[in-house]
Structure 1
């Protein structure tokens, strides 16, 4: 009889402890769900990219430079509903950004444009990395969206500068002067090499 009572009490104790564990798990799950909801809301609010060209040059580029047009279209489409949708969109933006190095129009195929594209790609990759972490640092993602927007403006302004600079007429002889400064076009030294066997005058 004593054996049955102690077995019964042990069974009740085990059932109570299981219920306590379930309640703890449920509370932890609810806490995690609320945290994810806050992160989602913050990213959803901060996900604002400058997807419209800021000047005429950038607008013209969108018409002829396919990669630029596709990139602007990609950042203009805002994901909805889940953090997973934002993660997919971030990965798609990163892929489109990498393609900006392809088929750069001739007049913009210059170091100052390429360097700005590289910086833009780096910041987009950082955003993509942060948004795919298990514990998403939403403040960093939002900060990087702002940085990406700054780099977009910088790139578009540089494009405008390149076009404006090309409109300035060159002075007479300036093209020849610039060619003379180019060391790759320098005239090679045509003097014969000195014979090492000749006696030296001291």
Structure 2
């Protein structure tokens, strides 16, 4: 009888220990989930606060390109609007922006299909792709994402200003005689640099 009682007490104590352990584990899990939710909320709020792109043309040239250069217009249009409610919405928007950015290499107007424009487009694409990469990580570095948004805006301004410079330069009339000089320069370049070898059998003039 004594041993039975002792056995029951042991079982009760074991059951109480297991129950208490489970309760502690649940409380720990709940605390961790709350902590993780708080982190995600902070990340979301930081990205939401920093998500502001320059989606409007900054000069007449850029505004004209919205109509003349389809890919440019679609890219600026994609920058417009801010996702709401979830980080997943920001991730989806970021992926769409990256896709439109990569398309900027296509159908560049002849006037702007120059190294200084292409290099700026390349830098812009790189920074957009970096932003898209960071925002899709499991642990999102929100500070890097918001920093890159600022960098993307800087590249947008740089690109649009360069477009404007090219247009303004094309409007400057050539000085009188400049076109003739340039044609002469091209003709000079076309002349071979070396003279044909002298025939040694030709008679010498004494």
Taking structure 2 as the reference length, what is the TM-score of the superposition? 0.87
Q: Distance in 1 between matches of 2:118 and 2:182?
A: 22
Rate the CA distance shift 1:52–1:13 in 2: closer, same or farther, 3 A.
Answer: same
Unmatched segments (≥5 aa) in structure 1: 195-202
Rate the CA distance shift 1:20–1:120 in 2: closer, same or farther, 3 A.
Answer: same
The 8 Å contact of residues 180 and 186 in structure 1, kept in 2 or not, is answered as no
Q: Which of 43, 54, 59 is 2:58 aligned to?
A: 54
Q: Which of 113, 116, 124 is 2:117 aligned to?
A: 113
Aligned length: 194
**1:46-195 aligned within 5 A:** 46-175=50-179, 177-178=181-182, 186-188=190-192
Unmatched segments (≥5 aa) in structure 2: 199-206
Rate the CA distance shift 1:122–1:181 in 2: closer, same or farther, 3 A.
Answer: farther
The 8 Å contact of residues 130 and 137 in structure 1, kept in 2 or not, is answered as yes
Q: Distance in 2 between matches of 1:33 and 1:193?
A: 84
Q: Which of 22, 27, 52 is 1:23 aligned to?
A: 27
Q: Distance in 2 between matches of 1:193 and 1:40?
A: 77
SS at match of 1:20: helix
Match of 1:40 in 2: 44
SS at match of 1:77: coil
Deviation of 1:53 after TM superposition, in Å, equals 0.3
Decide which structure has the larger Cα Rg and report it: 2
Q: Distance in 2 between matches of 1:100 and 1:58?
A: 14
Which ranges of 4 or more aligned residues in structure 1 deviate by more than 2 Å?
171-182, 185-194
